[in-house]
Amino acid sequence: PAHALWYDRKKYVTINFKVQKPKDVQVDIHCKNDNEDVFYNELYFYDKIQIHDSRERVYDRTINILLRKIKPDYAWPRLQKDPSKVKLWIAVDFDNWRDWEHEEDEGKEEYDRYADVSEFVTTVVSCCPAELKHEVNGKKETLKGFNVKLQDTILFPEGGGQPDDHGLIADVPVIRVTRQGPEAIHFVASPLAVGQEVQVKVNWERRFDHMQQHSGQHLLTALADTMFGFKTTSWDLGRQRSVIELDTPCMKPAQLQGLEEAVNEKIRAHVPVTVQLLSIDDPAVEKVSRGLPEDHAGPIRIIDIEGIDANMCCGTHVSNLSHLQVIKLLGIEKGKKNKTNLIFLAGNRVLKYAEKSYSTERAMVSILKTGPDEHVEAVDKLQKSVKLLQKTNLSLLRDMAVLIAKNFENNPQKGNFFSLHKKEGDNEFMNIIANEINTEETLVFLTVGEDKGPGLFLLAGPSRSVAEMGPWVLKMLKGKGAGKNGRFQGKANSLAQRAEVEVFLQQHCKHQTSEEE
């Protein structure tokens, strides 16, 4: 057996096995050292432990085991159940052993170090070709890649209102992680060899952000219920902000302020957040049960915010409310079916929001030449000025439209075709011109907008010509529109071919004139 040191805590027992450069570690426990010597340690513990919530870490010179007690706050005077079976290879770690009855951390800080695993070594179990429907910049795409199953994983599959983790498997980016029963399916772009030992790395910045938002949601949900009786019916962890749907038609400003003060008070109190894994038939499950997925497998996972909330949850969470840093309630919105959406930010998102808001504020100071307290008044004045200018400009455009039409009508050599493009203008501007021109005899082609960009168009004239040429104009301008009674108008995605359209329409009119002659 390997030499071992152990010590006791309120909720945890720690054992450190001394092995030089251990490999092939199995928590039976047996392993080999760098000289290929095999070590095997067997113990009958003093009391029961939670096997699903105990952890191990392998280092160059030690294998550290952290055991979670079934009965917390119950001291273990020795590591073994039978005091007569003395193991010479076990010793007490007097440097870490101390009377824990009056300590507050309960070994939590050490447990956190075990819990926050960002890198992990495991084995590829299977790798199959697959496709993934993926959204990139608002456009849906189908990606071809591979679904990979690992012997174990630290990457969280999406579920419980929380998005999935991103990360790497052997330096291959993981694009999506989903759950199929008890299995996590990793979608990657490149294949991985079955049986290959791989290192898994989690994108810790994304993971920690999700931990903060998810634990923040649990805290808000619990206190909204306790303080006001508002039940949470659903929630969404968004990219920019998170939303909790509360089963209430409204929420008063005083309630919003009171809830924000209460959650931040709990954060300052650094309340522990622990994970319990219970069997499906454990009586404690009934107290927190809200229904399980049909494909659920394995133990029931309970997230316990000490003295505040205990609920089933598959997501990732902080180990202490102090890790949330701060929660900011941005406000409420009217939800579906007489419900209210509570919008919030937690942790680093609050800091980023404050930084962005400050940058915006400094930019507004530079533009408006006023202090932050005067920004609303300054923008209000600008809006009123813009509205007045727009009204004046619209009046001038209307007058201009009339003059343009009259100028054409008064021209003795006007012909039977009129074309005009203007950067500024709208549908009303074009229709005024068309109304002032005798379109029973004249074909009118009008456009407004960027010279080679998007804009508006109007084709007016003899009904037969407009019905014939309208669809062709629409196609040339890559637009959308419709027509009737001698008018065809719509939106143009591109006015780049306007000149070609004008030449074609002009030739059409000349052909019509020659036929009449």
User: How far is the C-alpha of 400 from the C-alpha of 432, rounded, in Å?
Assistant: 10
Asked whether the domain spanning 393-516 has the same topology as the one spanning 207-353, the reply is no
Q: Determine the topology of domain 207-353 in CATH.
A: Threonyl-tRNA Synthetase; Chain A, domain 2 (3.30.980)
Q: Does the structure show a pLDDT above 60 at 104?
A: no
Domains of the chain by residue range: 2-92, 115-202, 207-353, 393-516
| 250 CB-near residues (< 8 Å, 6+ apart) | 332, 340
Q: What are phi and psi of 65, to 5 degrees?
A: -115, 130
Q: What are phi and psi of 102, to 5 degrees?
A: -110, 5
**3-state DSSP assignment of residue 349:** helix
- Indicate the class that CATH gives domain 2-92: mainly beta
> 393-516 — its CATH code?
3.10.310.40
220-224 mean pLDDT: 97
pLDDT in tens, 424-439: 888 889 999 999 898 8
Q: Which two tokens stand for residue 154?
A: 């630290």
356-362 contacts at long range (C-beta below 8 A, 24 or more positions apart) = none
pLDDT, position 237: 94
* 249-253, 335-339, 399-403, 512-516: the lowest-pLDDT one: 512-516
User: Nearest CA to 427 among 481, 499, 464?
Assistant: 481
pLDDT in tens, 296-328: 656 788 899 999 998 888 889 998 999 999 999
More reliable by pLDDT, 208 or 105: 208
Q: What is the pTM of this model?
A: 0.64
**Mean pLDDT comparison of 54-68, 298-312, 446-460, highest-scoring range:** 446-460
Q: Does the structure show a pLDDT above 60 at 106?
A: no
User: How far is the C-alpha of 329 from the C-alpha of 342, rounded, in Å?
Assistant: 7
Share of the chain above pLDDT 90, in %: 48
pLDDT, position 109: 53
* Angle, helices 253-268/204-228, rounded to nearest 10 degrees: 120
pLDDT, position 517: 56
pLDDT, position 93: 75
- Indicate the class that CATH gives domain 115-202: mainly beta
Q: What counts of helices (H) and strands (E) characterise the chain?
A: 9, 26
User: How far is the C-alpha of 348 from the C-alpha of 212, rounded, in Å?
Assistant: 8
For 141-159, b/e burial (b = at least 16 CB within 10 A) is: eeeebbbbbbeebbbbbbe
Q: Which two tokens stand for residue 79?
A: 């590591």
